[in-house]
Amino acid sequence: MLTAQLLINALVLGCLYACIAIGFSLVWGVLNVINLIHGSFIVLGAYLAFGLYQWLAIPPWYAWVVAAPLFFIVGYGLQRLLLNRVITAPVLVTLTLTFGLDLILNNAMIYAFKADYRKLTLRPPLGSLSLFGVVVPVDRLIATGLALALTGVLYWLLRRSRVGRAIVAVRLDRDAAVLMGVNVKSIYATAFGLGAALAGCAGVLMALIFPISALTSSSYLGKAFVVCVLGGLGSVSGALAGGLLLALVEGIGSATIGPSHATTLSFALLIVFLIVRPQGLLGRKGFE
Amino acid sequence: MNRLHLALLLLIGCIAALPWFGGPYALRLGTTACLYATLALSWNVVGGFAGYPSFATAAFFGFGAYATGVLLTLGLPLSLSILLSLLAALLLAGLLGAVLLRLRGHYFAIASLSLVEVLRELVNNATDLTGGGMGLNIPLAAGSGILADAVFFFYAMWAVLLATALMVIGVSMSKLGFGLACIRQNETAAGMIGLNATLYKSLAFGLSACFVSAAGGLYAAWVHYIDPSDVFDILYSVKPIVMALMGGIGSPLGVACGALVYLGLEEVVWRHYIQIHSGVLGLLIVVLLLCLPHGLLSLRLGALWRRARHV
């Protein structure tokens, strides 16, 4: 029974991890930028959901309709105005730039919302579902379902839509994409905007489950790192695989050697993966 | 040894004269300046000479702080504790470097960032040895007065800075420095002409970690109390990079000047905008990267210098 509960927990958490990571993975894969502001975007999304519920009584499962376009615009603007200027610079420059942006956003959030932890409490509470002795809270179930839906939407977008195909083309071969008439700068901005929108939506879902504070942004970012490296970069299925693997490892680790070691375990796994299998579970080799 | 190296040593010599001119505040500032310059110069060995974007400075800073802290609580004298944590960091970083520096670009950056997290969590969980999240109280040195203590720690930190500068100058003049420059420009080609890249990179990583660790140890003894979120703060990894970017990556003199300029800015920001200081730091980073990508020294002064020479 414990095993079944462990597996279900890992499944639920894994989908959420994947949802945290897909935006990050998209930006890393397409733009070759490690987007350190991702964690703060997630927290900002969570605050947005909190505010919408608190003042306008819009429940989080509708809030993402507001969050997605808003974050897309912010991300698009950020890339157009700032990041595109240094996009060809070495890793150090883009990484440090996004770190600077993250400092600004995070400090602004602490200043505006204070560092207190807040929790979005649904009225009335949704309770939990019990099936054959396995207990799953309903809010987590909803968040997981939405996370899967979001992942599905991104997958469809990249596979079927014109913009999505252009994004994939730029990711595979930038120069060839330019020769085919793709406007790379605009595609970069679109990809970054999509990444931001996904972060915002992930934040909305997180607000359903976890307490909200600007101080949690680095732990979201850490999860995104690990999931990306485990699963492989830039692919939606990779993010899902990585998220599930991470949740499973954390779950088993917490159950066997104690929850305080779960983070250590996940980062140790990250380093091992980087060294042994840098392309991840599902990634292709040859991406720097 | 060229003129820039001499200028660096001269600059460090000037810092040593500080206790004759300033009060306790100047001493505290001077100690921090030596600390920052040590971190930035050390980072420059891996980040500047070898061109690997390392975010591991905080890992070794925290490692040194905790190694020294634990050794001091065991009753060892300060000098021996610092020396031991320096050697331990050299060894640890050399071994880790051989593994981690096989990664390139983004992967190396992520791995070095995770190193900080892993060490912090390990220290957090080893409650028996390190006190975990409650932090570690470090016994006071046999107190000979507050001011005398401040002067002592200033000169100790200054000595670490001097040792770092000599190490950096030594590296840049030796075959190691040349090899690292080859690795930065084209690692595959460097391997082709028979350069043992793994050995060179491990050495560079070890050298860049050992003085950071010593500085961390001194910091722990100086402030008497450390906790994991303080000494394993990722900002200790990022600040040296910002300093190096300010001064111009690769040039030791530029990096040291960058550290001093950065400290000045930080002090002003702390004093006036305590609520939003990290936001201002972020803004500084963004403006610096977008407007002055090659640092303060290289831009105007460089042009003036060249023009003056041709005349």
Whether residues B121 and A264 touch (CB distance < 8 A) is answered with yes
Task: Determine whether the interchain pair A103/B118 forms a contact, defined as Cβ–Cβ distance below 8 Å.
Answer: no
Host H or E run for residue A228: helix A217-231
Q: Do A275 and B102 touch (CB under 8 A)?
A: yes
Interface check A85 vs B, CB under 8 A:
yes
How many percent of chain A have pLDDT more than 70? Answer: 97
**More confidently predicted of B41 and A137:** B41
**pLDDT per position as a tens digit, A53-90:** 888 888 888 888 888 899 999 999 988 888 888 887 77
Predicted TM-score (pTM) of the model is 0.85
Q: Do B285 and A28 touch (CB under 8 A)?
A: no
Q: Which residue on chain A is closest to B277 by alpha carbon?
A: A107
Contacts of B114 in chain A (CB under 8 A): 222, 225, 267, 270-271
Nearest to A97 among B118, B281, B289 (CB): B289
Ordered per-residue pLDDT tens for chain B, 311 residues: 678 888 888 888 888 888 787 788 888 889 999 999 999 999 999 988 888 888 899 999 999 999 999 998 888 888 898 899 999 999 999 888 888 888 877 788 888 888 888 888 888 888 778 877 788 888 776 667 777 888 888 999 999 999 999 999 999 888 888 888 888 888 888 888 888 888 899 999 999 999 999 999 999 988 888 888 888 888 898 889 888 888 877 788 888 888 988 898 888 888 888 788 888 888 888 888 887 766 665 555 555 444 444 43
Beta-carbon separation of B118 and A275 below 8 A: no
- Regarding predicted confidence, which is higher, B4 or A49? A49
What pLDDT score does B273 carry?
80
Residue A263: per-residue pLDDT: 76
Predicted pLDDT of residue B62: 93
Determine, for residues A274 and B276 on separate chains, whether the beta-carbon distance falls below 8 Å: no
Asked if the C-beta of A176 comes within 8 angstroms of chain B's C-beta atoms, the answer is no
Tell me if A100 and B104 make a contact (CB, 8 A cut-off): no
Distance from CA of B9 to the nearest CA of A (A): 28
* C-alpha distances out from residue B99 to A270, A274, A277, B104, B194, Å: 13, 10, 13, 11, 20
Interface test with A, best of B55, B108, B113 (most A CBs within 10 A): B113
CA angle B231, A265, A195 (to 5 degrees): 85
3-state secondary structure chain B: CCHHHHHHHHHHHHHHCHHHHCCHHHHHHHHHHHHHHHHHHHHHHHHHHCCCCCCCHHHHHHHHHHHHHHHHHCCCCHHHHHHHHHHHHHHHHHHHHHHHCCCCHHHHHHHHHHHHHHHHHHHHHCHHHHCHHHCEECCCCCCCCHHHHHHHHHHHHHHHHHHHHHHHHHHHHCHHHHHHHHHHHCHHHHHHCCCCHHHHHHHHHHHHHHHHHHHHHHHHHHHCEECHHHHCCCHHHHHHHHHHHHHCCCCHHHHHHHHHHHHHHHHHHHHHCHHHHHHHHHHHHHHHHHHCCCHHHHHHHHHHHHHHHHC
pLDDT tens, A239-279? 888 888 888 888 888 888 777 777 778 878 887 887 777 77
Given this model, what pLDDT does residue A40 score? 92
- DSSP class of residue A215 equals G
Q: Which CATH architecture has domain A2-114+127-276?
A: Orthogonal Bundle (1.10)
For residue A135, what are the β-bridge partners?
Answer: A130
Site from B57, B102, B278, B284 to mutate, A interface, most A CB atoms within 10 angstroms: B278
Closest chain B residue by Cα to residue A106: B279
Comparing CA positions, the residue from B51, B56, B78, B57 lying closest to residue B67 is: B78
Report pLDDT for B143.
64
Question: Please, are residues B263 and B32 in contact by the beta-carbon 8 Å criterion?
Answer: yes
pLDDT at A286 over 50: no
- By residue count, chain A amounts to 288
Give the pLDDT score at B258: 87
pLDDT of residue B7: 84
Residues 6+ apart with CB under 8 A from B99: A275
Question: In this complex, is the C-beta atom of A219 within 8 Å of any C-beta atom belonging to chain B?
Answer: no
What's the token pair of residue A3? Answer: 């095993």
Does the structure show a pLDDT above 80 at A185? yes
Question: For residue range A216-245, what is the model confidence (pLDDT) as tens digits?
Answer: 888 888 888 888 888 877 678 888 888 888
Chain B residues inside the 8 Å CB shell of A278:
103, 107
- The shortest CB-CB distance from A96 to any of B106, B124, B238 is to B238
B104, B125, B286: residue with CB nearest A264: B125
Across the range A192-221, mean pLDDT stands at 88
Residue A137 sits at φ, ψ, to 5 deg, of: -65, 140
Which of A32, A93, A271, A272 to probe by mutation at the B interface, max B CB count within 10 Å? Answer: A271
CA dihedral B56, B60, B65, B67 (to 10 degrees): 140
Is the Cβ pair B285, A96 closer than 8 Å? yes
Q: Compute the nearest-CA separation of B252 from chain A (Å).
A: 18
